[in-house]
Amino acid sequence: MSSAEPTEAEPTEAGATEQTGPAVREPGRTPRPAAPVPSPLPGLAESARRLADATTTSTALVADALARIEATQPTLNAFRHLRAEAALAEAAEADRRLAAGERLPLLGVPVAVKDDTDVAGLPTHFGCDGERPPAASDSEAVRRLRAAGAVVVGKTNSCELGQWPFTEGTAFGATRNPWNTAHTPGGSSGGSAAAVAAGLVPAALGSDGAGSVRIPAAWTHLVGIKPQRGRISVHPHSDSFQGLTVNGPLARTVADAALLLDAVAGAHPEDFHRPPAVRAADAARRDPGRLRIALAWRPPLTLTGAGPDPEVRRAVTALADTLARLGHHVEEARPRYGLIGLAFVPRATVGIAEFAARHPEPALLDPRTRSALRTGTRLGGRVVRAARAREVRQHRRIGALFDTSGFDVLLTPTTAAPPPRIGRFDDLSAWRTDVAMAAACPYAWPWNVLGWPGVNVPAGFTRSGLPVGAQLLGPSRSEERLIALAAQLEDDRRWFEHRPPV
């Protein structure tokens, strides 16, 4: 793990070992001075509009994205792999298609995906050390991105097997927060969050198995959507992390996150979960109506005694006041979480064990991963099946907040604490790491057990300038309501006007 003191992250070097040719590059080992940083890229919808209007080209946007990634790699270290030559070739082809009059939602727009997602020709390290063969084909989400016309410029850093709310590891160093590089951007989709917050790409895909989209979105001042289980395919996996993990977008605006969600949503023929389609972009333009919103401060039982940091509470209270001023009924409430952790732990550790067992060199895994592997092995079989069988009862008990109490949306802090410093979790045992991250992030993971949607929205900043967030949570298949409410908040609070000082 990285040192607690800020250090230079590892840059991407053209001379690094290439996996499938010169278009694939991995961070090197030799620090170099940071290059001048180009201007941040426009958002996803704005990039698509400029391309359709012929006021820019895909080649220009992709070249700017690659230059900005290269310039910030020594400080932010957001990317594990770049597809520089391949992305520029795809951009040139997109320009030819645009000039011929073809129009697709994301034709020619550069995006990034997290390194737990298969991209043909690139290895999927998922935060791990060691060599991995390149993926033979795209994941279903990437296939849909390409079908929408997007240009994937590279793969962003993730902590090892997505376990922790920080993005650090011996395999790639530390990914840093654009708002303050002494702090983590969160995890496990920290590379995607850092890349979007810093304007390296207009938007990016992450994945969320216990808050891994919403937590880094909160800590980097972004919109992050955890959709309904099955909304975005996780194929080639059929039921990732025992049903806990879903893919989701990170963007600076609700409209951009909704546009990316629409582009990648849909099932693979082998998927288990197939919720009916939603129209996220339409929802982002819709008035949500007057809603009953439950504000919950008490997290589910984690045995840490965790509650929100005073600065988090102040920011979320201000956001709740905004919702009330916009005409919504906001009332404090306490969801009946019960002992939901007894269902989460077996599913999470069995999921880690399933992924860790595929690693060709297990000795390279973090000792905490090996500990989770042993726990997951013990909790497999009947224990995890029983944990999953409880989900129906959990739906009824927690869903009573919506079905019986009549609330439309649950509002909670996304995290209990602002983003920790880089190295905060170094040298901790597996147990102490679990306790520390449960204290910092006790709010997000129950919605992964339920499989229901949630949206992180920026809630403001601490007095020292660190971002914090709030999550809008809903019952099954309620993405459109959550997105409409998030868009209404964004119109009022205009969080997209604030950028980090990169």
pLDDT (0 to 100) of residue 256: 98
Structure tokens at 396: 């009824």
- 114 has catalytic annotation: yes
SS3 category, 263:
helix
CA distances, 101 to each of 46, 58, 111 (Å): 18, 14, 22
> What is the rounded (10 degree) CA torsion for 178, 184, 190, 194?
0
What proportion of the chain, given as a percentage, has pLDDT over 90? 90
Task: Give me 85's structure tokens.
Answer: 């030559």
Q: What is the crossing angle of helices 382-389 and 341-356, to 10°?
A: 130
Mean pLDDT (whole number) for 244-264: 98
Residue 251 pLDDT > 90, yes or no?
A: yes
Query: Does residue 7 carry a pLDDT above 50?
Result: no
Residue 54 pLDDT > 80, yes or no?
yes
Whole-prediction pTM value? 0.93
Interhelix angle for 367-378 vs 430-440, to 10°? 90
C-alpha dihedral, 341 to 346 to 347 to 352, nearest 10°? 120
For residue 499, the SS3 value is coil
The active-site residue out of 114, 139, 240, 371 is 114
pLDDT score, position 36 = 64
Note the helical H segments in 53-188. Answer: 58-72, 84-99, 140-147
Q: What is the pLDDT of residue 307?
A: 86
pLDDT digits (tens, 9 = 90+) for 325-374: 999 999 999 999 999 999 999 999 999 999 999 999 999 999 999 999 99
Neighbour tally for 55: CB within 10 Å: 8
CB 444 within 8 A of CB 473: no
What pLDDT band is residue 238 in, cutting at 50, 70 and 90? confident
- Write the single-letter amino acid at 240: S
Q: How far apart are CA 27 and CA 30, in angstroms?
A: 9
Lowest mean pLDDT among 38-42, 92-96, 261-265: 38-42
Do β-strands 168-169 and 110-114 pair in parallel, antiparallel, or remain unpaired? unpaired
Q: Would you state the torsion angle of the CA atoms of residues 140, 185, 413, 261, taken in this order, to the nearest 10 degrees?
A: -20
Mean pLDDT, the chain, whole residue set: 93
User: Do residues 414 and 468 make contact, with C-beta atoms less than 8 angstroms apart?
Assistant: yes
How far apart CA 415 and CA 469 sit, in angstroms, is: 7
| pLDDT reported for residue 14 | 29
Q: pLDDT at residue 431 above 60?
A: yes
3-state secondary structure 82-112: ECHHHHHHHHHHHHHHHHCCCCCCCCCCEEE
Average pLDDT over residues 75-103: 98
Q: What's the CA gap between 214 and 469, in Å, rounded? A: 8
Residue 3 — φ and ψ, nearest 5°?
Answer: -70, 155
Per-residue pLDDT reduced to its tens digit, 111-136: 999 999 999 999 999 999 999 999 99
Which residue in the list 189, 192, 212, 478 is annotated as catalytic?
A: 212
Q: How high is the pLDDT of residue 33?
A: 52
Answer whether residue 394 shows pLDDT above 90. yes
Task: Specify whether 188 is catalytic.
Answer: yes
Candidate list 188, 192, 233, 371, residue with the active-site label: 188
Predicted local confidence at residue 397, as pLDDT:
98
Q: Which residues share a beta bridge with 461? A: 467
Between the CA of residue 271 and those of 209, 386, 411, 448, what are the distances in Å? 17, 22, 30, 17
Q: Is 212 a catalytic residue?
A: yes
C-alpha 331 chain-centroid distance: 29
Checking if the pLDDT of 19 tops 70, the result is: no
Q: How confident is the model at residue 8 (pLDDT cuts 50, 70, 90)?
A: very low
Please check the confidence at residue 261 and state whether its pLDDT lies above 60: yes
Task: Report, as an integer, the average pLDDT of 281-297.
Answer: 98
Determine the average pLDDT of the residues in 52-67. 98
The pLDDT of residue 499: 96
Q: Which of 275, 277, 292, 329 is nearest to 476 (CA)?
A: 275
Tell me if 151 sits within 8 A of 111, measured CB to CB: yes
Rounded CA separation 477/273 (Å): 12
Cα–Cα distance, 485 to 250 (Å, whole number): 17
Kindly indicate the confidence band of residue 23, based on its pLDDT and cuts at 50, 70 and 90. very low
* Position 247 pLDDT exceeds 80: yes
- What does the pLDDT average to over 74-84? 98
Average pLDDT over residues 276-289: 98
Report the share of the chain in percent with pLDDT over 70: 92
**CB-count burial class (<10 Å; 0-12, 13-18, 19+) for 133:** exposed
Burial class (CB in 10 A: 0-12, 13-18, 19+), 393: exposed
Question: How many whole angstroms separate alpha carbon 163 and alpha carbon 189?
Answer: 10
